[in-house]
Structure 1
């Protein structure tokens, strides 16, 4: 699941493909994961543990083989949806298995910390595998690498696991597959609108309008179906819990701030022209920060520290990283300049992620815990796509704005500009002639202005995100006292 996660634009620039296409294939898989979580508990209760793992792994291997053998984008899209379903069905079963092995009163919390550590750091690890396999072999071999990991899981299941059940067998009947289809179509069409909206000028293009309408229609059908069936897959009563509402809201804001990391890696590749294998190695700075953040917040959570302080300091750390990124966006930056904010950003995201999940699940009745977890996953699906869309659109608008400003303020009579132009003409005139050399020199200056506009735009974006992080921190710390004061002022009038 974490393949290309937070690396979509960077990976697109390296592989010379559209960032929107990578993000949409990722979203297709993510949407399928959301849908599969509706059915996971029923399927896991029906099969024995080892049989379940062998079945899901085997089907995942067949899907990966299918992806490696085709180049049809439509077929790859369908296979990505199916892969997403079996990805979560295969991976979700390891969480209860891990909980059983942890002898601690808060085994669920500890298990979640392990799970989300792998999720947050997995993008860099899987991209490293991509780097090695593509540089030395090819894209099909990259898929085969993932396939071999599934074979290792099968070997472990055969050698180490027994075939017992974790609970009572629950028969597979009255599965509401129609609702699953409605939800999948709604999520897929909604993601299409968010990801491709700017590219197709939003509702000026028929594809965006149609997908937006389909997302609303099938989303409404899903809600109506769940309200009318006897055994709903999703209980909307979950929305009555304050923890769920606050947690989902904070998750959304967290992902908006986190989505800016994509811009950092893109600037490394397109502006600073760092080698892509070097950029992947640089990302491990963020990974180390994430591991430190997960461990630190985990220690506080196990000590029953108030979520208010964990969330407040977490968003403060993210805000600090955003402000530290601002002065690093200059043409000849160094790894020493960018390393500190990358590390701090990793601490912030590792600090916040698992406590947010635990907060959503806390206070929810036991029969609603699954729906609370699904609510969090759905929030991450939408916030990932909204964050991608928002940053892409804001970057595009600001790049255009600053490019025009730089072009208008470019002083062609400046000695520095004249010397730069003469250097370019001297470089290309001897090879292509004066006319073609003039065109190439103009394009080179235009490219330099575009790169400078990108750097200025990112300074602006990270400043705004830093301010957003500070505002969220203030609201978290002040919400409780403000609510108490409001109630005290209101009591005389009740």
Structure 2
């Protein structure tokens, strides 16, 4: 199936033009996710929600993307893509309008789920179209690189726009820009895509909708358990008990059904391949460890009080490293197939160095120049790891199960991000409490440092015209704030060290596996000689 069959004659032979059109269509899905994800503070205030609610809304969108992805490829083989994308964009515009005016958090959850469906349709269409512009030997390495790199880089670029909008206008103005862009993409689709693609329609039958329902129920319950568990003190609360029960029951029902139906939602036979499991484990470790970068973004925004634009610009350096080294790794993989272990050693070594780097430089007065290089470095490490691990994972299963491989890899990202988020949150709680108690043990009237700091604060407020009583109260408040900042600083450093220890353990295993692999190859050569 050739991609140019989808495009009108004036565009069919113009590869660059086709790639630009595909990129714009992809953006129509990404903007609905990125603009919201990078403006969470404003969404919280606009909806009167809790931070956990916003995280849950983001995960609902991701659940929809994962669950619809396998079904999406069936739809693409049944419907003409121009009409399919037209209806998709039209519904996306309606959802954006509703999202712009709703202040009900439950309705917002429902909208975010269906926006995930719309995002999946746009993105899934690109996954089908883009291979037509690539040589067969390039598709496995370049396809994931282009798609993943576009999503990440576009998220940052859109985040810059969203940050500027929220700083200079009402939050709802973001949706005005999104809707205008969606309308432009809708017109572009009608102008560039053929009404008839001459592709033989594939009938829709025996889609495992029951399995889809089980998957959605289990994934939503799992996300709820992980996100709200700490907030409600885990299994002391009936809501967490119930969501855990639903997660387990839905998972068992889903796996049983996928094993007995003729055309399952996902082909669970892929799990019999050992290399596929290794690839998923590496993906989970990669996704989880790289999420420590959110500590930096959170610290600069909440403690150092950087503007959203400054934080987003910092993210650009990370994306630059990611894209550059993703391209490099894709090119090397195309020309040198047996370099997987080298990428793992180099990538995890760089991630380890980054974690240690952040552990040693983290201070209360971090400047932009202190972080731009290590964040670029972290992006470079991610670029070296992602493409090789994805290629290794997808190539370890039959081509016929490729859609399942993509969906399971996406679900691995979903679970890794949830676990990393919950893990970092609980680590922060633990270390914050640990350092807080340690500080309190030293806060006595006979402690010279405490007395000196309180006196300096008191004198400062007295010099600004405060009364004696007000100066004392303000001095204690300032000391508490300073201790809070110091506690958060030490907590972040401890978290970086914790992640560094995990990466170091993985790196040792990878090096040992590489040594064993090299020894077995050498032994095989000796036996042949």
Instruction: State the TM-score, normalized to the length of structure 1.
Output: 0.92
Given that residues 5 and 123 in structure 1 are in contact (C-alpha distance below 8 angstroms), is that contact kept between their aligned partners in structure 2? Answer: no
The aligned residue for residue 334 of structure 1 is 367
The aligned residue for residue 405 of structure 1 is 438
d(CA) in 1 for partners of 2:198, 2:158: 31
Cα 1:369–1:484 change in 2 (3 A) is same
Structure 1 residue 91: Cα displacement: 1.3
Given that residues 6 and 261 in structure 1 are in contact (C-alpha distance below 8 angstroms), is that contact kept between their aligned partners in structure 2? Answer: no
Given that residues 189 and 214 in structure 1 are in contact (C-alpha distance below 8 angstroms), is that contact kept between their aligned partners in structure 2? Answer: yes
d(CA) in 2 for partners of 1:220, 1:7: 35
Q: Which residue of the other structure, out of 97, 107, 110, is the alignment partner of 2:142?
A: 110
d(CA) in 2 for partners of 1:148, 1:12: 20
The aligned residue for residue 203 of structure 1 is 235
Question: Per-residue displacement from partner, 1:410-464 (whole Å, max 9, x unpaired)?
Answer: 4644555434323433455676644454333322211211110111111111112
Question: Per-residue displacement from partner, 1:324-383 (whole Å, max 9, x unpaired)?
Answer: 111221112222222221111111112222222221110321211111111101111111
**Superposition map of 1:94-109 within 5 A:** 94-103=126-135, 105-109=137-141
Cα 1:121–1:171 change in 2 (3 A) is same
| 3-state SS in 2 of match to 1:3 | helix
Structure 1 residue 19: Cα displacement: 3.0
| 3-state SS in 1 of match to 2:205 | coil
The aligned residue for residue 22 of structure 1 is 54
Task: Tell whether 2:96 aligns with 1:64.
Answer: yes
d(CA) in 2 for partners of 1:424, 1:102: 65
**Superposition map of 1:132-151 within 5 A:** 132-151=164-183
Cα 1:271–1:324 change in 2 (3 A) is same
Task: Tell whether 2:329 aligns with 1:297.
Answer: yes
Cα 1:449–1:39 change in 2 (3 A) is same
More deviation, 388-397/468-477: 468-477
More deviation, 332-341/67-76: 332-341
Cα 1:78–1:298 change in 2 (3 A) is same
The aligned residue for residue 192 of structure 2 is 160
Structure 1 residue 384: Cα displacement: 0.8
The aligned residue for residue 119 of structure 1 is 151
d(CA) in 2 for partners of 1:213, 1:169: 41
Given that residues 66 and 410 in structure 2 are in contact (C-alpha distance below 8 angstroms), is that contact kept between their aligned partners in structure 1? Answer: yes
Given that residues 145 and 330 in structure 2 are in contact (C-alpha distance below 8 angstroms), is that contact kept between their aligned partners in structure 1? Answer: yes
Cα 1:11–1:395 change in 2 (3 A) is farther
Cα 1:6–1:405 change in 2 (3 A) is farther
d(CA) in 2 for partners of 1:396, 1:5: 26
Given that residues 8 and 262 in structure 1 are in contact (C-alpha distance below 8 angstroms), is that contact kept between their aligned partners in structure 2? Answer: no
Cα 1:7–1:346 change in 2 (3 A) is farther
Given that residues 38 and 162 in structure 2 are in contact (C-alpha distance below 8 angstroms), is that contact kept between their aligned partners in structure 1? Answer: no
Unaligned runs of 5+ in 1: 489-494
Given that residues 120 and 350 in structure 1 are in contact (C-alpha distance below 8 angstroms), is that contact kept between their aligned partners in structure 2? Answer: no
| 3-state SS in 1 of match to 2:129 | helix
Q: Which residue of the other structure, out of 412, 432, 443, is the alignment partner of 1:379?
A: 412
Cα 1:140–1:7 change in 2 (3 A) is closer
d(CA) in 2 for partners of 1:188, 1:480: 39
Structure 1 residue 141: Cα displacement: 1.3
Task: Tell whether 2:148 aligns with 1:86.
Answer: no
Q: Which residue of the other structure, out of 441, 463, 470, is the alignment partner of 2:475?
A: 441
Question: Per-residue displacement from partner, 1:94-151 (whole Å, max 9, x unpaired)?
Answer: 1221111224531342222111112233332232122122112222111222223322
Structure 1 residue 55: Cα displacement: 1.4
Aligned-residue CA RMSD (Å): 2.6
| 3-state SS in 2 of match to 1:182 | helix
d(CA) in 1 for partners of 2:190, 2:275: 41
The alignment of Structure 1 onto Structure 2 pairs a total of residues equal to: 488
Unaligned runs of 5+ in 2: 1-29, 524-529
| 3-state SS in 2 of match to 1:231 | coil
d(CA) in 2 for partners of 1:421, 1:287: 43
Task: Tell whether 2:378 aligns with 1:345.
Answer: yes
Cα 1:485–1:300 change in 2 (3 A) is closer
Q: Which residue of the other structure, out of 456, 471, 477, is the alignment partner of 2:490?
A: 456
The aligned residue for residue 347 of structure 2 is 314
The aligned residue for residue 81 of structure 2 is 49
